Structure 1
């Protein structure tokens, strides 16, 4: 009888242990799903904020480009189609989402020294009250804010990868230019930047679907 009682107690113990283990596994799965859903939502929210900021930046960049052309004199817009060397590339590159986010950040950073150069040139050419100067400063500040948010987004999504840095080292600025060359350089630069920010908005929409929804799909596998 003692052996039979011991066997029954052992079976009851194993049954209780199995039940507890099942409960723990269910709790772990539920916790994993909750964390995954939370991260997916945070990703979507942050990506949406970046997308809104990129659209605002593109709108302001378009306004700045028009103001620039108007401020340079009549019949100047045709000169904005002239090829100018040293202007950063507006096209986003990379195969993986992490690479494309780094590309966005690097391209935005590459334009900042050029903005400073155009501001210096136009400060010499325009009256102090010119709206062009204020718009250049505003777009520069907005673009830096966008770049900072893009970097933060990258570090949230890919915490184990190195922080993004501007590619290719310091940006090369054009050598000394005469007044006409300065005007053409600024016009082409701002037109190219407007194209870049449009590309950034398109890329963020694509990344939002790929990166954030991927987290939600992973959640359904558990």
Structure 2
């Protein structure tokens, strides 16, 4: 196995090969769901249907990536993943109205991006260049970027006359230099909270679709 010596437990070679095949399949599915290129003009219920389908896919992909990450961390995984870190974005969606809650999703997505990049860099350093976790993180970053644009479009649909705020220039700070144990905990917490956010985003979009699309269908009838 091509393992790094710093207490990093690698997945067996056969498992790594299976992970790469699995990631390739996910990539093909994602390409299909991410097409055509998003345009926020003239969006309707079909956009909400497609966005919900993609969010479900992301939620499932994040769950599988988290399983792969945990399996690659060796002993004491449960202890590592239960650590508390203040500088990791929260997964809780806030707001009373639908637009406020979707804006919360949009804000959190953009907060997670720099943290996902940091975790990917750490994983690449631990086991370059064939670490399936790093490969999965690379894909997840693309998915989050795409989903952020999609959520932006939903906000414009909900509030066509209100500009969508730009993402904060100073997101929740990246933690300072960490030892290997801290890096493992940090990666697990980032992925766990991202998956929780995506799970909630699925619920929010189901609610929006039921309200908007059902209302439009009744109007047509």
**SS at the partner of 1:172?**
coil
Listed as ranges, the gaps of 5+ residues in structure 2 are 1-41
Given that residues 107 and 166 in structure 1 are in contact (C-alpha distance below 8 angstroms), is that contact kept between their aligned partners in structure 2? Answer: no
Shift in Å, 1:123: 1.1
RMSD: 2.0
Given that residues 123 and 131 in structure 2 are in contact (C-alpha distance below 8 angstroms), is that contact kept between their aligned partners in structure 1? Answer: no
Given that residues 43 and 157 in structure 2 are in contact (C-alpha distance below 8 angstroms), is that contact kept between their aligned partners in structure 1? Answer: no
2-side partners of 1:62 and 1:92: how far apart? Answer: 19
User: Is 2:75 the counterpart of 1:71?
Assistant: no
TM, length-normalised to structure 1: 0.74
**Larger deviation, residues 131-140 vs 70-79:** 70-79
User: Cα 1:215–1:96, aligned 2, differ >3 Å: closer, same or farther?
Assistant: farther
Listed as ranges, the gaps of 5+ residues in structure 1 are 1-40
Instruction: Looking at secondary structure, tell me which structure has more helix per residue.
Output: 1
Shift in Å, 1:167: 5.2
Higher relative contact order (CA 8 A, sep 6+): 1
User: Cα 1:108–1:182, aligned 2, differ >3 Å: closer, same or farther?
Assistant: same
* Corresponding position of 2:159: 158
User: Cα 1:164–1:213, aligned 2, differ >3 Å: closer, same or farther?
Assistant: farther
* Corresponding position of 2:210: 209
What per-residue deviation string (whole Å, max 9, x for no partner) do you get for residues 38-93 of structure 1? xxx95321111111011100111011111111112133233101111111111111
* Corresponding position of 2:92: 91
**SS at the partner of 2:44?**
helix
* Corresponding position of 1:194: 195
Shift in Å, 1:153: 1.9
* Corresponding position of 2:112: 111
**SS at the partner of 1:174?**
coil
Shift in Å, 1:201: 0.3
Equivalent residues in 2 for 1:170-189, closer than 5 Å: 170-189=171-190
